[in-house]
Structure formats: structure tokens, C-alpha cells
Structure 1
Amino acid sequence: MSLYWGSAVRCLLGMCRFLWGVAGPLLLDGKEYSVPMATTEGCLVASTNRGCKAIYASGGAGSVLLRDGMTRAPVVRFGTAKRAAELKFFIEDPANFDTLSVVFNRSSRFGKLQNIKCTIAGKNLYMRFSCSTGDAMGMNMVSKGVQNVLDYLQTDFPDMEIIGISGNFCSDKKPAAVNWIEGRGKSVVCEAVIKEEVVQKVLKTNVATLVELNMLKNLTGSAMAGALGGFNAHASNIVTAVYIATGQDPAQNVESSHCITMMEAVNDGKDLHISVTMPSIEVGTVGGGTQLASQSACLNLLGVKGACNDSPGSNSRLLSTIVAGSVLAGELSLMSAIAAGQLVKSHMKYNRSSKDVSKITSSN
């Protein structure tokens, strides 16, 4: 049986092929980046590349890192809701924070407790710990610190029953309002002003059409669909492609793709201001898949491989802004393709072979 499964796994791995490509150069915060992407979507690299071209021709994009903190939220249970509330008040009392920080921080040189936010469901208490994690994505780091605090709290709250180190109030690999509002990992805003002539010549559309489409599609349409963090065209496309190429956890594209895309006419209506706001980009430049040969090479291409000794955390923070900048380029290009009526044509050209198209035509 083991030989059979071993052969099956090797066969499946042999079938796993991605379209590897590089988009760019992405001109972001005054520096140029060649963005590595691994995908099965035929148009994605070319489309993102076009967005990068438009941004470059307009003077580049800028980014702001708003927050940097990974979270983990254990769930514990007491005999009564009153007792659970007592622990909530204890944890959220500013007078106790320094002590809890010392307990939390002793598990790592880089894991530093930032805050703890609690919520109650009956007699169950959920504690959302947030901490800095250096250049690591940091879930293991924060989990170890959380375990230290739970062990410490057990002394003063011996009736506390630890149900799980993660109670889904974190929230990892699931769409959740808490990440959309509070953030998880890196929270980044990226923006650019695209010149009128670039919109016309490179993107083949016009500013007014893009602004209207963004309002009706990304904002109103998403609201009508009851979207949670999905006020964008295809942020997850770019996030996943860059994540696979750079050794991130692909499943974290769920919350990392939370994004709202905004477009506005500026400079007397001639030019386009576009921005993406992404509150929960979860990336690291050490550990996990970042150590794989191809992924390590891609991180090296971006200049963010490994840990930064001079400024711990700066490599992972830079990677998060590159992810946001790449999403900005992808949003700009796809929205332009839709506005210009090019979406179906481009997919038929780049994402289907002519042989497949002829078969479809003849069968109809």
C-alpha cells in the first residue's frame, strides 16, 4: 500500500505545473521590482505586466504600511459567564499588560505582544492576541507566546478550561470581518495617479468609464452580493500567484485578498487616482515554503530573501507592499479590459489554444 501511495504522489507531483512569469518592472516607492508569479491563469502575468507598464509610465505608485501584527485567538471556558467576564476584564486592564507582555515575549526574540482583545459567547472567552513577528509570517511564533500566557493565567484562574489554542477569532484562512476591520499580518494602502494619455494609449479606455465601472462593479455590485472584503476585481488572482512564487501559504490568500479598490478622477477630471487598501496581507521571508529553491530565488529577485538583521521585519514588510503594488497593477489592467470590452477576447487568445476554440466552434 505504501509503495502504491508513493507512486501516486510522485505521479501527481509530476503533473503539477504552473505558468511561471515575471511582471514589471513595478515602480513602487521610487524603486523598480520584477514581480515573480506562478499561476495556471493564462492572461494573468500579461495583464499584471500591462498594469505595471501603466503605473511606470505615470511616475510609479506609492505605499503606506498601516499596521504589522499577526494574531492568534484561543478559546477557553468557565463554569459561568460571570467568571469568563472576570478574566476578560483582567486581560484588558492596562495595569496587567506589562506582565502579560513579559510572559508572552519570552518565547521569541522577535515576537512582541501588541494587544489582546477579548469577546465572550456565553461562558466561553475568546482572546485575540496580536504581536509583531519580525520577518516571519509568525503564526507559530504567536502561538507559542499565547501558550505561555495561558499557562500563566491558569495559576490565578484554575477553573479555566482551555478548549483550543485557536478558536477562529484570529481568524486564519477564512473570510472574517475581524480581519477586514482590525487587520491581520500587514495592513497596506497602495496608490497611483495614472495619466490621461496612459489610460488611453496603454489601457485603451478612458478615466470616466473606469471610475463608473469601479463604482458599479467593485463597490455597488460587491455590496449587492453581500461581499466581505471583496470590493475588488480579482485581487486574489495576483495574491495567490505571488504567494506561490515566493513560498507563502497559498491558503492564506483568503484573508490576504481582502481588498477595496477605489478609483477617482483627479486633476480636473483628466487623470485617474487608483488605490487598493488591503488590511490583512500575511507574508514572511523566512521559514516554511520560503526555503524552497525556486521560491527562495524569487525572494532573492525581489531583494527580500531571509531575515533583515539591521531592521528585523523590514523584508516581510517590503514584500507586503510589493504584493499590494502588484494587486494595484492587476486591478488597473483587468478593469481596463472590462471597460474596453476586451476581457473575453484576451482570454480566448491567451488562455485557450486555437485547437480548443475550433472544437468549441464546430460543436456549436
Structure 2
Amino acid sequence: MTTRTVPGDTAVAIAAPDSTTPIPTRWVGPLRISGNAATGEVHVPLATYETPLWPSVARGARISRMVDSGIQATLVDERMTRSVLIEATDAQSAHSAARAIHDRLDELRTLTRTTSRFAELLAVRHEIVGPLLYVRFEFSTGDASGHNMATLAADTLLSHLLARIPDIRYGSISANYCTDKKATAVNGILGRGKNVTTEILIPRQIVADQLRTTAAKVAHLNVTKNLVGTLLAGGIRSANAHYANMLLAFYLATGQDAANIVEGSQGVTYAADRDGDLYFSCTLPNLIVGTIGNGKSLATVEDALDRLGCHSERPVGDNARRLAALTAATVLCGELSLMAAQTNPGELMRTHTRLERTNGAPHAH
């Protein structure tokens, strides 16, 4: 690991590319964070081929350190889901089966605990389409992102129900009402993964000096670009500039299932001019992250989670909650920087041209 200095920022640790880090990875920051899941100043890793992302997030992180409370991250909810498909003979029998399932919730919760030390059944929801019954199980899964834990529990619950409720039969262990790795409305409405809102209030002088813009310009652009533009494009419960950029880089660096950026990047940016100060927030209802499980045993990933403070002795689930908060704070840093840049004609392209002058190869900024 080498260290280089970013002009106007603190030292940035850079992981030299080798056989264990095939994607260029840099640690940027630190960002300052507070809230109910993480506090302090933390450098964050970003694995990406899009070289301007590092200084962009670093700019947002630098601004977070200029504000006393930094980025305030509030973890609102958490749950991993798996939906199953049950087939009945008609809608009436599907409805009867759904009522029978809800009558057995205590029984299903007890059964869930036999599938894992950490799985807890939180809720069951359903939809009926003709003779088809879609059942959405929602679980807490400790420090794991919970894909496999939820599927194992759902498989056990489904077999149990098929053996005890008449006039129904197996349809599928995954019925797309979860919804996994697809852009849908249901996850934003009901939640899947960690639901985190991050926010920061930036004094007007910092907005002018560090972002070279005004609160009014950022708030106006957020409406015209992120809200109206996304509406015209047919976005699904999403209004942001580029959450996917930060999510993918952070997910790859910390051993997450990168395909979950599909639903993870569905989120809403909100900006307001508060007497010249800029209030800026990012809400991400579908952050699917974990600190244990598949992908976490790689040396580079273990090192990243250690440095992030997400391998500490804490109550079950708290390491994953901390990771989710840091993920969301990283997203805010990059979103804030890009939105500010786009209020100034030509700034975005000039920056990309300057930073990518080596045809995308990593270099010092």
C-alpha cells in the first residue's frame, strides 16, 4: 500500500494493482459521519476504472469534515426478502391459502429460527393474481446481506406450508416479488436490505469556496434534472444523478454482490436552499450489504472491512449497519460533488478530460 497526496486534501492510500486487486482501488477521505449506525472520520475504498470518481468523492468527503456533525446517516429500516410462488386452482383458494399463512405467523417465526442462528421472520406480505399466490417473506439476517439465509428460510417455510394447506402446489422458490437485482417499485415501498438516509447542511461560504456554486443553483438543478428529468425518462422510485457509480465501486471494494446496485441505486436526492446554506440529502432504501458471508474471505476484502471498522466486536448486525451507513455517506459525497459540477457550464467535461488524459489508467490526482 502506497500513499500519495491529493492537492487540497489529505493523503490518499492507493492499493497497487496486483493479482489480488485486479480493479484499481483507492482509499479516499476521510469522510466525517454521525448518526445511529456509524460515527467518526473514516477513509473509504473505491474500486473503479472511472478515475474521476476518486477525486469527486474526495471533494465531498473534504466538505463533510468542514461541518461539525459531518454527514448525518440515519438507518431507518433493514430486512432481506424472498418471495415464493404458490399455485392454487382459483383465486378463492389462493385467498384462503393466504389467510391460512397469516394465521400461522407465530409457527412460521419459530420454524425460521431453526434454519439459522441469525434469521428472524419479520413480516409476510402477499399478492394474488388469478390462481397465483405470491408470498413475500421478510427477514432480519444479522451481519450477512442475507441472500442465501433468506432463501434457505423461505424454502423451509414453503415446504412446511405446502404440506399443511390444502389445494395449493409449488410454483417457484423465487417469484420476482422480492425483488432481487431488478428495478421495481416494491423494494422502495416495502424495503429490501438497509434503508439509510444521509444528510448534510453546508454553510454558504463552503458551498461557494469548495463547490464553486450556490445552494439555489444546486436545489434548482436537483428539481429540473433529478426529479423532472427522471420523471420524463420513466424512472422507478428513483431521482438521483449517479448513485450507481459510488455503489459499484464501494461494493466491489468490500466484497458485496455487485449486481445488487440495480435496486441499490434506486434512491432520491433532495436539496434545499436554506437562507444561502445548502441542505443536501440522499435516501437509499435498498442497500444490500453484509460483513460476513460469500466474498468476504478474500484478503483485500477482509483488509477493507477491518479498516472500515466493520469487523469489530459488536452486537449482531451492528457491523453491517455501520457498513450500510458508510456506503450511503460515500454515495452522498459523490452525488454532492457531481451535482455541484453540473451547475457550472463545461466543468464536468473539463474535469473528465483532465483526469482521464491517460486513457483511463490510474494516476495521482
TM-score (structure 1 length as normaliser): 0.89
SS at structure 2 position matched to 1:135:
coil
Measured after TM superposition, the shift of residue 158 of structure 1 is: 4.5
SS at structure 1 position matched to 2:225:
helix
Q: Report if aligned partners of 2:49, 2:360 keep a CA contact under 8 Å in 1.
A: no
Q: Which residue does the alignment assign to 1:83? A: 93
Q: Which residue does the alignment assign to 1:206? A: 214
Q: Which residue does the alignment assign to 2:153? A: 145
Q: Report if aligned partners of 1:58, 1:198 keep a CA contact under 8 Å in 2.
A: no
1:313 aligns with 2:302: no
Provide, for residues 273-325 of structure 1, a one-character-per-residue CA deviation record: whole Å limited to 9, x for no partner: 001111110000001111111111111110103xx654100000110011110
1:284 aligns with 2:293: no
CA distance in 2, matches of 1:224, 1:150: 40
User: Percent sequence identity over matched residues?
Assistant: 37
Q: How do 1:32-111 residues align onto structure 2 when only pairs under 5 Å count?
A: 32-59=41-68, 60-93=70-103, 96-111=104-119
Within the candidate set 340, 349, 352, 1:347 is matched to 352
Q: Which residue does the alignment assign to 2:3? A: none
Q: Relative to structure 2, which stretch is displaced further, 165-174 or 102-111?
A: 102-111
CA distance in 2, matches of 1:161, 1:14: 49
1:270 aligns with 2:276: yes
Q: Which residue does the alignment assign to 1:299? A: 305
Q: Which residue does the alignment assign to 1:359? A: none
Q: How do 1:160-171 residues align onto structure 2 when only pairs under 5 Å count?
A: 160-171=168-179
The verdict on how the C-alpha distance between 1:229 and 1:21 changes in structure 2, with shifts beyond 3 A counting, is farther
Counterpart of 1:290 in structure 2: which amino acid?
A: K
Q: Which residue does the alignment assign to 1:326? A: 330
CA distance in 2, matches of 1:103, 1:173: 27
Counterpart of 1:83 in structure 2: which amino acid?
A: S
Measured after TM superposition, the shift of residue 148 of structure 1 is: 1.7
Provide, for residues 120-164 of structure 1, a one-character-per-residue CA deviation record: whole Å limited to 9, x for no partner: 111111110001000001111111111221122123224322121
The verdict on how the C-alpha distance between 1:316 and 1:51 changes in structure 2, with shifts beyond 3 A counting, is same
Counterpart of 1:23 in structure 2: which amino acid?
A: V
C-alpha RMSD of the superposition: 1.9
CA distance in 2, matches of 1:107, 1:168: 22
SS at structure 2 position matched to 1:87:
helix
Higher helix share: 1
Counterpart of 1:247 in structure 2: which amino acid?
A: G
1:238 aligns with 2:246: yes
CA distance in 2, matches of 1:138, 1:355: 35
Q: Report if aligned partners of 1:135, 1:315 keep a CA contact under 8 Å in 2.
A: yes
Q: Structure 1: which 5+ residue stretches go unaligned?
A: 1-12, 357-364
Within the candidate set 336, 352, 364, 2:340 is matched to 336
Q: Which residue does the alignment assign to 1:172? A: 180
Counterpart of 2:83 in structure 1: which amino acid?
A: A
Measured after TM superposition, the shift of residue 353 of structure 1 is: 2.7
SS at structure 2 position matched to 1:290:
coil
Give the aligned length. 338
The verdict on how the C-alpha distance between 1:147 and 1:203 changes in structure 2, with shifts beyond 3 A counting, is same
Q: Which residue does the alignment assign to 1:4? A: none
CA distance in 2, matches of 1:145, 1:42: 41
Counterpart of 1:21 in structure 2: which amino acid?
A: R
Measured after TM superposition, the shift of residue 16 of structure 1 is: 8.7
Q: Report if aligned partners of 1:194, 1:271 keep a CA contact under 8 Å in 2.
A: yes
Q: Which residue does the alignment assign to 1:159? A: 167
Counterpart of 1:272 in structure 2: which amino acid?
A: L
Counterpart of 2:33 in structure 1: which amino acid?
A: L
CA distance in 2, matches of 1:247, 1:54: 27
CA distance in 2, matches of 1:352, 1:309: 44
Measured after TM superposition, the shift of residue 335 of structure 1 is: 0.5
CA distance in 1, matches of 2:314, 2:53: 36
Q: Show structure 1 runs of 4+ deviating over 4 A.
A: 13-16
Counterpart of 1:128 in structure 2: which amino acid?
A: R
